[in-house]
Amino acid sequence: MKRTAPPKKTAPPLKTPVRKGPATARMVAIQVLARVAATDAYLNVVLDTVLDELTLKDPRDAGLVTELCYGTTRRLLTIDGVLRKFADRSLDTIEDRVLAALRLGVYQLFFMRVPKHAAVGDTVDALKAVGFERAAGFVNAILRRASELTELPAAEGDEVERLVYETSHPAWLVKRWIRQFGPERAKTMLAADNEAPNVVIRANTSKLTRDELFAQLTEAGVVCKVAPLSPVGIILDAPGRVEELYGYREGLWQVQDEAAQLVGVFAQIPANARVLDACAAPGGKACHLAQTNEVVAIDVHANKLPKIDSEAKRLGLRERLVLKTVDASKPLPESMGEFDAVMIDAPCTGLGTLRRHPELRYRRQERDIAELSHLQREILEQCSLVLKPGGLLTFAVCSTDTAEGPDQIEMFLRSHPDFTSEPPKGLSHLPTYQGYLRTLPGPEGLDGFFAARLRKMY
């Protein structure tokens, strides 16, 4: 996926020098937040890397580190609005780790049940421990002034400005969602992006049914419930490290959001079909398809294929997968032949996954939508050529934007009279829009996805 970032500052090393001995949760959070702010890296990748490299004083603090990092990132524009009231300099001029400590402190003061003295004192101590004693007085003064407030400062300005501050989303996105979905639905989407997502798994139906998996998980003491929409999904309650849960090593399930699962369900590809999965990384849909089909999974990024290979082996599906490094936006190799079905999980803005990747909301620009829509059209064109007459093409994006969803497909259908939209049968309970699958962030607890199911008639 192409991603757009603001101008980069010098990135601190992933391992910031710290005092000898195990690290506290706030020390780790400062390092993670500083690294994410200074680079184009995903928060979850940096967090996992740092947690693997550093030893926490209390292993149970891994959950606290996660809450501090994700919560601070989700509320970044709100937090910065508070800091600007007290800082005597532009936030852009403050060193990454010092600014990370300030943001971390404000998040604790206004969004966590942390005593004020701990939110201030422990954060300042953590900054000292990562080598910034010289900035401790500056950070302490600002956080102490902020701690004197009894509540979060009120928003100012018009409706858009208030929503930008209150929900920490860029103005262009707030305006766009209001225009596309109306003010009330837009507000529920903005609010949902600031909630921690569920951990959802998909049963590996090549080994057992969803009901069998649910029974086994429950017997093993895992608190969970069946997903309301996906017939193969199970929602876990505070699972901790999923790799330690029952059935992971045995390959009985794979982590995948319910909305992403619905794409595979909506595609309704017949069993034993030969399927092309274009843009296959990170591999959730490829493995879902491989439970019942022979799949050729391609991706332009060769370094992403080993992750798919590893997951397929864990799930016992490797023999059903062929992995290739191929650019799906260019003519596909003739040696690949034709396919009974094609799944295009296209590169997109990712605007439907902002609760999982909160840093993305600050990096995306409105112009990215047009750029990625053009790339999606190129992939659609090339992949449509290798589909057999009578075959199925499923196009999906993890985006809420109509330009990447229904508008994209309507444009394709107008220029390809040999294709027609063909919604699946027997799935009327799925959330749809004009015959397409569409899920939106909101009280339903889903990521935002769009999928179209097309039939090539001749």
Q: Could you list the active site residues?
A: 398
Question: N- to C-terminal Cα distance for the chain?
Answer: 32
Helix (H) or strand (E) holding 368: helix 367-384
How far apart are the C-alpha atoms of 250 and 390, rounded to whole Å?
A: 37
Residue where the block lists tokens 């149970």: 60
How far apart are the C-alpha atoms of 39 and 12, rounded to whole Å?
A: 9
**Helix, strand, or coil here: 378?**
helix
**Helix, strand, or coil here: 22?**
coil
How far apart are the C-alpha atoms of 384 and 457, rounded to whole Å?
A: 12
CB 365 within 8 A of CB 437: no
**Helix, strand, or coil here: 442?**
coil
CB 99 within 8 A of CB 73: no
Residue type, 452: A
DSSP 60-122: GGHHHHHHHHHHHHHTHHHHHHHHTTT-SS-GGGS-HHHHHHHHHHHHHHHHS---HHHHHHH
How far apart are the C-alpha atoms of 71 and 86, rounded to whole Å?
A: 21
CB 278 within 8 A of CB 379: yes
How far apart are the C-alpha atoms of 265 and 260, rounded to whole Å?
A: 9
The 10 Å Cβ neighbour count of residue 2 is: 10
How far apart are the C-alpha atoms of 350 and 24, rounded to whole Å?
A: 32
